[in-house]
Structure 1
């Protein structure tokens, strides 16, 4: 666990000291992989693993170095998650209009991360209140709506659930 703390502290210090973006991203990637035991959290592979941003850093830059927005994936699982659109999203369009966000995959990955977060300190899975508020806005929740659990539990609940207004919009769009 000591190595994990060292890697975590290196990440936090590099971000707090406003080091170069590449340095912070490299420290974030090392921490995520170390936290997940250099193992793909989906299939268990230890071959060609990398850190993956659950919610793309181009969509929510404030989440790019947060431990709760990262998960370790092998090359094959990573490729599968990125299938379809993988460019910079147009934030003026409704979420996933371009096919890059895949809300069900975001919910799934936060669920996988939630399961492993029960065994470790919550700081290793932290998301900021601002990022959680943005998640609520994307999903159509009132920003003051309360969710229980640690940060990744909250994120999983937010992304997993479809508020009534979202369900109604989908139904209307499909002629119901």
Structure 2
């Protein structure tokens, strides 16, 4: 743990001292690999490692140096997440319209990063930090208000945000099935139960919450 804290200190010093972005990114990369124990978080290979930005820094520059936006991947796993379009995003297009953000991969990487931290007992918020600004952007991109509550430390919140269907999609599916869903997020494993009275009329519903997230 001392080596992880030392790497974090070097990153924080570079940022606080106003060093060039290239130098700060080098410190960020060193920290991510140190924190992840110099192995691929996905396949656990220890060969040809890189620190990967889960949400691309070209899409969200404010997340470029946040510790919760990085994960160590081997060459093969890194190549896989960059398969297809990897150019600068057109910010006039909807997110992932060009295929560069790869939303299912983002969701999965935040998930396995959170799981890895829990298993290794390293889930210190400073080691996996995502600012309220970045999490707010994630929420708005998914169609939620920036103050919508998601449980857990920042990297887990990121996973749960990207695991959501957008409110518009959820509402359309519910309407097609004659349901009225609550506006609060439905987290993975949650179950929505509709109440029906003796006359067969719907009287509302409730969410049976997955205790894993609470």
* TM above 0.5: yes
Residues 1:166 and 1:61: Cα distance change in structure 2 (over 3 Å): farther
Please say if 1:127 is aligned against 2:130.
yes
Deviation at 1:21, TM superposition (A): 0.8
Identify the range of structure 1 (115-124 vs 25-34) with the bigger mean alpha-carbon deviation: 115-124
The match for 2:151 among 136, 139, 148 is 148
Name the SS of the counterpart of 2:10 in structure 1: helix
Judge conservation of contact 2:144–2:167 (CA < 8 Å) in 1.
no
RMSD: 1.3
- In structure 2, the gaps of 5 or more residues are 174-214
Matching residue of 2:9: 9
Any idea what SS the aligned residue of 1:56 has? coil
Residue 160 in 1 paired to residue 163 in 2?
yes
Per-residue CA deviation, residues 77-122 of structure 1 (Å, 9 max, x unaligned), is 0000000100010111101100111111000000011112321122
Q: Deviations over 1:44-71 (max 9, x none)?
A: 1000000000000001100000000000
Please give the alpha-carbon distance, in whole angstroms, between the structure 1 residues aligned to 2:88 and 2:28.
Answer: 20
Written as runs of structure 1 = structure 2, the 5 A alignment for 1:1-176 is 1-118=1-118, 119-120=121-122, 121-167=124-170
Structure 1: which 4+ aligned runs deviate by more than 6 Å?
Answer: none
Q: Which has the larger radius of gyration?
A: 2
| More helix as a share of residues | 1
Q: 1:140, 1:166 within 8 Å by CA — same for their partners in 2? A: no
Structure 1 unpaired stretches of 5+: 171-176
Q: Work out which structure has the larger RCO, using CA pairs closer than 8 Å and 6 or more positions apart in sequence.
A: 1
**1:32-51 C-alpha deviation (Å, 9 max, x unpaired):** 00000110011110000000
**So what's the TM-score if we normalise by structure 1?**
0.93
Give the Cα–Cα distance (whole angstroms) in 2 for the partners of residues 14 and 139 of structure 1.
Answer: 33
Calculate the TM-score normalised by the size of structure 2. Answer: 0.77
Match of 1:112, SS?
helix
> What SS does the aligned partner of 1:140 have?
coil
Higher strand share: 2
